[in-house]
């Protein structure tokens, strides 16, 4: 499966860099779950994994395929946190290049175990990107406990190609959906006019870019389409084009990371591009004291001869095991390759009759995805805010950790950390409360004074022992402040209250939740306030 003759021999440094970076991304993903998982899908969380798994029992043995997760063993908080801490430890060992292939397997299984049961809190494209890259990396990583560069265990040629194929599809398919969506802002190049303030979780850098002239926004919209439709094809051209492509997309992704908090998504896209580079280029950046470990043409030939000699002396049982590994690798990579290619073809040519069963069968594992970022640009920014009261008249707000709330708070940069609760509330604000059950469910948990859900907030005006009698969710419309407002009052935002987003609820004497009133927001928007 990892023969030198079948592997890629000029990507050892690129592989080493990629796997170290992938370990950091896994670490960021698991670290965020340490502080959020119990409140999101714990036994008393907003969408308990336990209840979700119980709902699948009617599917019989297929339930394990529909929801691939080790939480089937036990769905309590103890097992949930054990998996997260195990993934966190494995990601650190991966960063340290200790048993990378085994650590990648542990990270993949632990992260899939969360995503497979997280429901609305794991429906992000970034999760699919990480799982797809994580699976393919198993066929790229070197074997052994302390492999170094792994010169005797080259990365699978097919797996390296599929990692670059994933990178290509993230860009190209995002361009395709922008045009197919019919969103006029992409056609007339005005998509970036309000982008920096209306994205899920803006940054303070985005505030400054938002106020640049319109020619800048028109130019960046046009360059986005050029990059997604044309530039990424340079990945399949000769070496000078690949290197130029890497430089351009790296600068571009750095700009995206600075202006918006998309968790680990852009970091993963950035590091996938490392495979555009080869050792001949990268070795000049390796400190001289480490270059002795890099393979030269002579050492590469010697290692190939040693590998051939070793294979000629292998016993029959080892040959059978090796044959099974080769067959398993071929099946997995072919399956992923077919699914991803078929989905791209169907995106471009919907009427092409391609078998869909392999795609549907693998879908629960999120390892062969279709992508499409920013197909439609959000024209307004809404923010849901939870408030509690003991008399139904005086309301106090729960303070969020990450998403915009106080107008004088500077929008922070915290990616690759992923605040899934805050992120989902942004999506919820674009829909109705009936379509977004996490909002009324959060209201119920706040009425209960649930500590795990309260930990998702920065602060609460009520203690867990004395929760409020009433909880409601109001909705605001937000705008970046103007430069004049920023200079005079030092505020980053302006906002207008639109009404209540979901019913105000309370608890009856019987312990049931009851709606006190109906929401008042009708979906109408306000004009930008005049400074």
- pLDDT reported for residue 530: 44
Q: Which residues face 383 on adjacent strands? A: 476
The answer to whether the beta carbons of residues 234 and 244 sit under 8 Å apart is yes
Report in angstroms the alpha-carbon separations of 407 from 282, 460, 461, 494, 495.
46, 18, 19, 6, 8
26 within 8 A of 107, measured Cβ to Cβ: yes
Distance from C-alpha of 489 to C-alpha of 469, rounded to nearest angstrom: 36
Whole-angstrom distance, CA of residue 38 vs CA of residue 45:
6
Please name which of 400, 394, 390, 383 lies closest in space to residue 460, comparing C-alpha atoms: 400
- Tell me the three-class secondary structure of 231-255, residue by residue: HHHHHHCCHHHHHHHHHHHHHHHHH
pLDDT tens per residue, range 395-406: 999 999 999 999
Q: For the residues of 136-149, what is the DSSP string, one character each?
A: HHTTTSPPSSS-TT
Contact indicator for 29, 114 with CB cutoff of 8 Å: no
Report CA-CA distances (Å) from 279 to 244, 407, 423.
Answer: 16, 49, 39
- Cα dist. 12→143, 279, 466 in Å? 13, 7, 59
User: Where exactly are the structural domains of the chain?
Assistant: 12-365, 381-515
Spell out the alpha helix ranges (H) of 42-156. 49-55, 63-66, 77-95, 100-115, 125-137
With CA atoms as reference, report the closest residue to 475 among 396, 382, 407, 404: 382
Taking the C-alpha atoms of residue 283 and residue 494, their distance in angstroms, rounded to an integer, is 51
Indicate the Cα dihedral angle 233, 234, 239, 243, nearest 10°. -130
Long-range contacts of 210-216 (CB under 8 A, 24+ apart): 210/480, 211/480, 211/482, 211/483
* Cβ partners under 8 Å of residue 527, min gap 6: none
Is residue 479 within 8 Å of residue 495, measured between CB atoms? Answer: yes
pLDDT 10s digit of each residue in the chain, 531 long?
A: 334 445 788 999 999 999 999 999 999 999 999 999 999 999 999 999 999 999 999 999 999 999 999 999 999 999 999 999 999 999 999 999 999 999 999 999 999 999 999 999 999 999 999 999 999 999 999 999 999 999 889 999 999 999 999 999 999 999 999 999 999 999 999 999 999 999 999 999 999 999 999 999 999 999 999 999 999 999 999 999 999 999 999 999 999 999 999 999 999 999 999 999 999 999 988 887 666 656 654 555 555 455 445 545 544 555 788 888 889 999 999 999 999 999 999 999 999 999 999 999 999 999 999 999 999 999 999 999 999 999 999 999 999 999 999 999 999 999 999 999 999 999 999 999 999 999 999 999 999 999 999 999 999 999 999 999 999 999 999 999 999 999 999 999 999 999 999 999 999 988 899 999 999 998 877 666 544
Is residue 355 within 8 A of residue 182, CB to CB? The reply is no
| Integer Cα distance of 52 and 41 in angstroms | 9
Count of alpha carbons within 13 angstroms of residue 274, beta-carbon side: 20
Q: How far apart are CA 512 and CA 531, in angstroms?
A: 46
- The tokens for 45 are 């969380």
> CA 481 to CA 485: how far, in whole Å?
6
3-class secondary structure per residue, 264-277: CHHHHHHHHHHHHC
Give the C-alpha separation, 210 to 192, whole Å: 9
First to last CA, the chain: 65
C-alpha distances in angstroms, 444 versus 71, 142, 429? Answer: 25, 49, 18
DSSP-assigned beta bridge partners for residue 388: 396, 471
Q: Residue 126 and residue 261: Cα distance in Å, rounded?
A: 12
511: left (phi over 0), alpha (psi -120 to 50) or beta: left
By C-alpha distance, which of 136, 125, 141 is closest to 164?
Answer: 136
Beta-bridge partners for 382: 477
Distance in angstroms (rounded) separating the CA atoms of residues 478 and 153: 53
Phi, psi of 383 (to 5 degrees): -135, 125
Tokens for 44, please give them. Answer: 């008393």
């Amino acid at each position: 499966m990892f023969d030198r003759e079948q592997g890629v021999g000029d990507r050892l440094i690129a592989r080493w860099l990629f796997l170290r970076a992938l370990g950091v991304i896994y670490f960021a993903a698991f670290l965020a779950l340490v502080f959020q998982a119990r409140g999101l899908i714990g036994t008393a969380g907003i969408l308990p994994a336990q209840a979700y798994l119980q709902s699948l029992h009617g599917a019989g043995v297929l339930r394990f395929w529909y929801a691939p997760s080790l939480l089937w063993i036990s769905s309590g908080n103890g097992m949930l946190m054990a998996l997260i801490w195990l993934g966190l430890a494995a990601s650190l060992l991966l960063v340290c290049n200790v048993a990378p292939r085994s650590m990648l397997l542990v990270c993949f299984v632990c992260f899939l175990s969360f995503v497979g049961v997280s429901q609305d809190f794991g429906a992000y494209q970034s999760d699919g990107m990480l799982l797809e890259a994580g699976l393919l990396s198993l066929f790229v990583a070197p074997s052994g406990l302390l492999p170094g560069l792994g010169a005797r265990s080259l990365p699978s040629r097919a797996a390296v190609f599929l990692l670059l194929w994933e990178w290509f599809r993230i860009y190209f398919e995002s361009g395709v959906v922008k045009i197919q969506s019919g969103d006029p802002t992409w056609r007339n190049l005005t998509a970036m006019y309000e982008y920096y303030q209306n994205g899920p979780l803006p940054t303070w850098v985005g505030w400054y870019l938002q106020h640049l002239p319109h020619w800048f926004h028109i130019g960046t919209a046009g360059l986005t389409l050029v990059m997604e439709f044309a530039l990424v094809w340079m990945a399949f051209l000769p070496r000078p084009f690949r290197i130029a492509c890497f430089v351009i997309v790296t600068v571009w992704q750095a700009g995206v990371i600075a202006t918006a908090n998309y968790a680990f998504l852009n970091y993963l896209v950035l590091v996938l591009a490392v495979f555009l580079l080869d050792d001949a280029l990268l070795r000049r950046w390796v400190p001289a004291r480490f270059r002795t470990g890099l393979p030269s043409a002579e050492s590469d030939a010697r290692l190939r001869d040693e590998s051939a000699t070793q294979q000629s002396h292998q016993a029959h049982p080892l040959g059978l095991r090796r044959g099974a590994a080769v067959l398993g690798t071929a099946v997995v990579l072919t399956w992923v390759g077919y699914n991803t290619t078929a989905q791209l073809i169907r995106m471009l040519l919907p009427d092409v009759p391609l078998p869909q069963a392999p795609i549907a069968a693998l879908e629960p594992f999120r390892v062969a995805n279709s992508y499409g970022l920013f197909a439609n640009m959000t024209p307004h920014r809404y923010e849901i805010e939870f408030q509690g009261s003991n008399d139904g008249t005086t309301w106090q707000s729960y303070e969020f950790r990450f998403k915009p709330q106080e107008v004088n708070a500077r929008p922070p940069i915290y990616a690759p950390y992923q605040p899934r609760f805050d992120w989902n509330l942004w999506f919820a604000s674009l829909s109705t409360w009936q379509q977004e059950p996490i909002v009324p469910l959060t209201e119920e948990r706040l009425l209960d004074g649930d500590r795990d859900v309260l930990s998702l907030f920065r602060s609460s005006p009520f203690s867990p022992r004395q929760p409020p009698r009433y909880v409601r969710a109001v909705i605001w419309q937000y705008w970046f402040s103007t430069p004049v407002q920023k200079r005079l009052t030092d505020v980053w935002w302006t906002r207008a209250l639109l009404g209540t987003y979901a019913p105000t609820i309370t608890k009856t004497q019987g312990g049931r939740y009851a709606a006190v009133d109906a929401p008042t927001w009708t979906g109408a928007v306000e004009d930008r306030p005049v400074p």
